[in-house]
Amino acid sequence: MKALVKNKPEPGAIYQEMPSPVPGDTDLLVKIKATALCKSDVDVVEWTTLVASSDLPLPLIMGHEFLGEVIDKGKLVKNFKIGDHVTGETHIPCGYCYPCRNGHSHICSNNMGVLGRNVHGSFAEYIRIPEVAAIKVDKGLPPAQGSLLEPLATALHALTKSNISGETVLVLGCGAIGLMAVELAKILGATKVFAVDIFQNKLDAALKFGADVVINGREHDLVEVVASGTHGIGVGTVIETTGNQQVINNAVNALRVAGTLVFVGMIDYPLTFNEFMHKVVYRELILTGIFGRRLYATWDLAQRILESGRLDLSHYVGAEIKLDEYEKGLEIFPTTLGRVVMYP
């Protein structure tokens, strides 16, 4: 089969032939219908410092956001049948370690499999995925939209790390996950949502998806705008997707006392907080991160929201190309509204 492969520990990737996967006893063999390009995939291609420190097993098929059809399965698979449409939980838990047995299997500590990082991913014609990491989806969901369920659930997990119902929220960065966070925040009951970016087209999209106030970071001081819009109190929750140290420190100043800062964006450098004791400790801020989605609560909530009709995933399909056009996808990724979706 053809696949997009990270083959050397240096910048670049190659579209080449790879052996077709064969399902084990507890695996599904899935034919990829659509797969989306994530910033973390771009980081693998560019071979960032964080990626280079991860000791990836090369050659490795990249990708982790997808929708496909089950075409074969192992003899011990119980909950899926041939013809089912599925997406994949990127994290493959062991099921036995302390986190797995205490409600945190999405951050399994026992050599957790991660699609596109230490397990072959979805930038291919076929993928083998364990039953435990497969999520069944409605066959009526278009493939491009189905490939966006994973980032949607990521944004949802970030929001559920704080109590946002009736509260104010600041979203830093209006890429696909940031825009999803804006829309989901309003669905989950946020009373006022601020959104920050440096690209006007992304800020316009944030307004379309429910932001009450948008802030161009190149033109306005986000701390002043947030203070003006919250009677000087600050926001209750910040969702951080930029990975930018200056933006993060500004966000700390935009938070109210005892507010929550949720880290979603990749940070591959030592992060410094200005006046840490006065701005973070003495104000009892809550700093937390997310890695993926809670199994399986986040997925269930995401599907209930979709079934309610209050969110339309088609809005987040920013571009559609063939997988062998991946270089074009990498080029347009930074400025594309939503995800770049690729078809094998």
Which pair of tokens denotes residue 238? 């910040």
Euclidean distance between CA atoms 65 and 38, whole angstroms: 8
Confirm if 147 and 123 have CB atoms less than 8 A apart.
Answer: no
Question: Strand (E) positions, 2-158?
Answer: 2-6, 14-17, 27-37, 60-61, 65-73, 85-88, 91-92, 113-114, 126-130, 134-137
Condensed to tens digits (0 to 9), the pLDDT of residues 295-313 reads 999 999 999 999 999 999 9
- Reported as a single tens digit per residue, the pLDDT across 85-126 is 999 999 999 999 999 999 999 999 999 999 999 999 999 999
Cα distances (Å, whole numbers) of residue 342 to 15, 68, 132, 142, 326: 13, 12, 25, 13, 8
**What pLDDT does 268 receive?**
86
For residues 313 and 333, give the distance between their C-alpha atoms in angstroms, rounded to a whole number.
18
Q: What is the pTM of this model?
A: 0.96
Domains 2-149+293-343 and 162-289 share a fold: no
Q: Using pLDDT thresholds of 50, 70 and 90, give the confidence band for residue 273.
A: very high
pLDDT score of 30 more than 90: yes
Domain boundaries, the chain: 2-149+293-343, 162-289
* Average predicted confidence (pLDDT) for the chain: 96
CATH class name, domain 2-149+293-343 = alpha beta
Cα gap 279→234, rounded to integer Å: 13
The CATH topology of domain 162-289 is Rossmann fold (3.40.50)
In this predicted model, what pLDDT tens digit does every residue of 222-241 receive, in sequence order?
Answer: 999 999 999 999 999 999 99
Residue 27 confidence (pLDDT): 98
The stretch 64-81 carries a mean pLDDT of 98
Predicted local distance difference test score (pLDDT) of residue 28:
98
Alpha helices in the chain (DSSP H): 39-46, 49-52, 143-146, 149-159, 176-187, 200-208, 222-229, 245-254, 276, 297-307, 326-332
